[in-house]
Amino acid sequence: MSTTPPPQELTTDTHTAAHELPADDGAFAWLRALGPRGRRAFAGAFGGYALDSYDYFTLPLSMVALAAYFGLDSGQTGLFTTVTLAASGIGGALAGVLADRVGRVKALMITVIMYAVFTVACGFAPNFESLLVFRALQGLGFGGEWAVGAILVAEYASTKHRGRTLGAIQSSWAVGWAMAAIVYTAVFSFFDDGLAWRIMFWTGALPALLVIWMRRRVQDAPEAVAVREKNAGKGSFKAIFKPGLRRTTIFAGLLSTGVQGGYYTLATWVPTYLKSDRGLSVVNTGGYLTFLISGAFLGYLTGGYLTDKLGRRRNIWLFALLSAVSIVAYGNIPSGSNTLLLVLGFPLGFCMSAIFSGFGSYLSELYPTAVRGAGQGFTYNAGRAVGAVFPTTVGFLADSWGVGGALIFGAIGYGIAALALLGLPETRGKELA
């Protein structure tokens, strides 16, 4: 059966609804179902989130060099992550409301510009305090990108394929992570550490190129535009705490707190763990991260598929359990067993990423269109802000427990996520309204 859209699709601005597209269960049916405008939105959100990830990982990958340059202890370096994530909670919540009021694409471009400008500024920081401030400001933009981009694509995606579509968007985080690891390996191999960390931050200017393209090519889904015009000004924090949505907002925030607390514990401290506790060189650390990132990429795609097949809640429950087990195993690998460390990086990356794949579709389906930005932006980023306590706790525990031992603290986050699901409904197959 042909999957070529009718001729008028190429010349009209009207989004073709998912049920008007040919039925197709092929591997890329989810992409075809988006239509031309939806695929451009997908490209914009994918690129934005990949570069969001890239800019985020400039810090964890440079952590050892930063600590040596400014003479920081583990608690202070952990504070960088906490400040970034706490600020991202504020930025993400505000970006969600902005997306409801001015549109998804405009809000997306603002967030990308914000995180790009202040990532570059970090490279010019003269001291610990200024770097902390710049990283907090970077966090404001960093926090909003995913929520806004996920909503933009969710409103184009078909009900049948929404999980896979948003899982594919989520996989761009691994792409950005891989880009950062490659650049890190090259920069720290050719430059002295005192300059290399600055160069890493300066490369964060790349997202500005994406904004230029998005401004010309990407548009909101027409249905979302119509709802926004009809409900002008209704997107607000107050709206998502009204009786009909209050329970959803509270439990979705707890779910996000648990998952992101566990995730950012690993994302922040694994590079330091590999270099400090395991004694790996820059090149070897990059090699070990390749296994972790490869597992993450496949985890995002697999989790997106399973969230459509098993349902949103079952997928999250499954990978919350597997992620907790993987953290405990990874943090307890005996000294000298670096081959096992290498091998276990793959399932660790796979599990801690697969749990995220359902978030874009699940949070989008929990809220109506008029307040979807506010709801998704607040719950995802409030969870990120509260979850920021986990990496800092690991930082303070690392001096006495070792980084590997302290990583186990991240497993607690996945327990919180599993419990939070008890207060949320299953939404698989739900039409966005």
Of all helices (H) and strands (E), which one includes residue 54?
helix 35-70
Within 10 angstroms of residue 417's Cβ, the number of other Cβ atoms is 27
The mean pLDDT value of the chain amounts to: 84
Q: What is the 3-state secondary structure (H, E, C) of 187-200?
A: HHHHCCHHHHHHHH
> Average pLDDT of 172-187?
91
Percent of the chain with pLDDT over 90: 40
Task: Average the pLDDT over each of 108-112, 169-173, 233-237, 379-383 and give the range with the smallest value.
Answer: 233-237
Closest CA to 72 of 395, 408, 388, 401: 395
Residue 282 has pLDDT above 60, yes or no: no
- The predicted structure's pLDDT at residue 3: 42
Residue 266 has pLDDT above 50, yes or no: yes
User: pLDDT band at residue 10, thresholds of 50, 70 and 90?
Assistant: very low
- The predicted structure's pLDDT at residue 416: 92
Which residues neighbour 8 within 8 Å (Cβ) at sequence distance 6 or greater? none
Residue, of 116 and 9, whose pLDDT is higher: 116
Task: Average the pLDDT over each of 19-33, 59-73, 192-206 and give the range with the smallest value.
Answer: 19-33
Note whether 407 and 391 are within 8 A (CB).
no
- The predicted structure's pLDDT at residue 264: 78
Of all helices (H) and strands (E), which one includes residue 40?
helix 35-70
